[in-house]
Structure 1
Amino acid sequence: MKFKVRSGREFSLKSGYYIYVGSAFGSGGLRKRISRHLKKEKKKHWHLDFISTDSSFKAFEVWVIEDKKVECFLANSISKTEKTITGFGSTDCKCPSHLFRVSEIENLRKRILEEFNVKIFKI
């Protein structure tokens, strides 16, 4: 899948599993942000919107860490073992990315569950 975000930057993603790391401390909080990201029809604002509106996109889990600002810590932890999609979703921080292509989802899930207090919701 190839797509261009609002800034004009182009990204190309191979088929496979990806994990996106984001936060939701604004109006409406976590529930509103997640439900927005799962909608197919929406105004494209965040980088993730350009993926989630594509017909090939299918969310299968949402990993939640409530009431803690750990977005960049989580992204840095994931970047140690997974392929970074450089410049995606991290324009407001110093992280190289907040999107990662996952080589082995079970191993990553287990490691993240051990490192962070994560709740996992099946979609």
Structure 2
Amino acid sequence: MKPVSGTALDGLIEAVRTRVPDTGIVHRTDETLDSDPGSYLLLLRLRSPLLVRIGKRESRLPSGLYVYSGSAKGPGGLKARLGRHLRGNGQLRWHIDQITAHADDRAGLAFRSLTECDLTARLLECSSFCVPVPGFGSSDCSTCRSHLIRFQASPED
């Protein structure tokens, strides 16, 4: 399926699809999601820099494109968790909520056979993806340096 045309995320969607070929539909709202458990990639655009906090540590995220990998195993599955992130509202509960509250554009990709760590590893195999803040969204993960990844299409970004 083709990316959502005409959004700032189009290039990011294509870059993700080259690393994760089994990517399906691009979700813009929770209406197209089901309640099954699974993992997801949340694609985000920040138009301006953002200061984020992990515990007592603050980090500045430059404007740009980001991917967050997460899992949705609780009640409501992907529809509940990814849908919440796509709406970008609600209480600040997880690290990613700091970004979704300020993101200018959001899209999601759902997976049933890959874990959030599998997805993170596949993206980080490509030099266009890097870890902007170690530990972000991965405080309960002993495998990944971060579940937040920055995308830079070219050195000028």
Shared fold by TM > 0.5? yes
- Under a length normalisation based on structure 1, what TM-score does the superposition of the two structures give? 0.72
Q: Which residue number corresponds to residue 122 of structure 2?
A: 77
| Distance (Å, rounded) in 1 between the aligned partners of 2:140 and 2:120 | 13
Q: Which structure features the higher share of strand residues?
A: 2
Q: Which structure features the higher share of helix residues?
A: 1
Residue 52, structure 1, aligned to residue 100, structure 2: yes
Structure 1 stretches of 4+ with a deviation exceeding 6 A read none
Secondary structure of the structure 2 residue equivalent to 1:11? strand
Runs (5+) with no aligned partner, structure 2 = 1-48
Cα–Cα, structure 1 residues 71 and 26, in superposed 2: closer, same or farther, change >3 Å?
A: same
Cα–Cα, structure 1 residues 2 and 15, in superposed 2: closer, same or farther, change >3 Å?
A: closer
RMSD: 1.7
Secondary structure of the structure 2 residue equivalent to 1:90? coil
Deviation, structure 1 residue 69: 4.9
Runs (5+) with no aligned partner, structure 1 = 105-123
Deviation, structure 1 residue 50: 0.6
Deviations 1:59-117 (A, max 9, x none): 34211112x3511111112122211121111111121011111123xxxxxxxxxxxxx
- Under a length normalisation based on structure 2, what TM-score does the superposition of the two structures give? 0.58
Contact kept? 1:84, 1:97, Cα under 8 Å? yes
* Amino acid aligned to 1:12: R
Contact kept? 2:131, 2:146, Cα under 8 Å? yes
Amino-acid identity (%): 36
Q: Which residue number corresponds to residue 96 of structure 1?
A: 145
The count of corresponding residues between Structure 1 and Structure 2 is: 101
Q: Which residue number corresponds to residue 19 of structure 1?
A: 67
Secondary structure of the structure 2 residue equivalent to 1:22? strand
| Distance (Å, rounded) in 2 between the aligned partners of 1:62 and 1:4 | 21
Contact kept? 1:16, 1:101, Cα under 8 Å? yes
| Distance (Å, rounded) in 1 between the aligned partners of 2:149 and 2:93 | 20
Secondary structure of the structure 1 residue equivalent to 2:71? coil
